[in-house]
Amino acid sequence: MENNFEDLIASYIENKVGISEHFLSTDLAHNLRQNLIVLKQKSLLMQAGIGNSEKVSYDGAIRSDSIYWLDKKHNNAFENEFFAQIEAFIVYLNQSCYAGITGYEFHYSLYESGDFYLKHLDQFKNNPSRKYSMISYLNNNWKESDGGELLIHQLDNNQKIAPTQGKTVFFKSDELVHEVLVTQNTRMSITGWLKSD
């Protein structure tokens, strides 16, 4: 597990975008994907908004995915396994990089064919608590023709990242403008933020 943590941190230090190809095990990614499929079947997903609870809006011309917030109160074994891994990573990050992370929040994210999310930053102007963004992908057998890449914009080098199963991406929430390109297939992930209050 610590090798995956070090992969994220080392690649982040190198080019401001941390990537671990196998942060989630095959079994955990599969089980979380099944959770998300059931949530969709039960019509429990909601349209994703723009902004936070103090100032939220909904604009399908900017963002067209659906979400469902993870919560320990759900007492879901696989979500709790995910939380345990995130908590272990936070301990590792705080000890090795003095990051000062004190909390986190995560949601499932579902993009249907044709969905996208235009360029944005992840930190709110009226709340700077989000320090690092993390996205873990749940897509089995993803192909290049499926699209849906995460495109991160940097001055010297834009980076396009395929949303393949088990991969996790990690970057500063207030630094990197990014977008989700139009997907041609159902695209599933867990997206969230490491926070410092």
Full strand arrangement of the beta sheet holding 187-195:
18-20, 168-172, 130-137, 187-195, 103-111, 66-69, 46-47
pLDDT of residue 62: 85
Average confidence (pLDDT) over 38-51: 87
Instruction: Write the pLDDT tens digit of every residue in 56-110.
Output: 555 667 888 999 999 999 999 999 999 999 999 999 999 999 999 999 999 999 9
pLDDT of residue 55: 56
pLDDT for 125 beyond 90:
no
Closest by Cα among 100, 172, 160, 175 to 134: 172
pLDDT of residue 48: 78
d(CA 96, CA 107): 26
pLDDT of residue 111: 96
Instruction: Write the pLDDT tens digit of every residue in 129-171.
Output: 899 999 999 999 999 999 999 999 987 788 999 999 999 999 9
pLDDT of residue 124: 61
- E-strand ranges in 93-195 read 103-111, 117-120, 130-137, 150-153, 159-161, 168-172, 177-180, 187-195
- For the 2-49+62-195 domain, the top CATH level (class) is mainly beta
pLDDT of residue 50: 65
Spans of all domains in the chain = 2-49+62-195
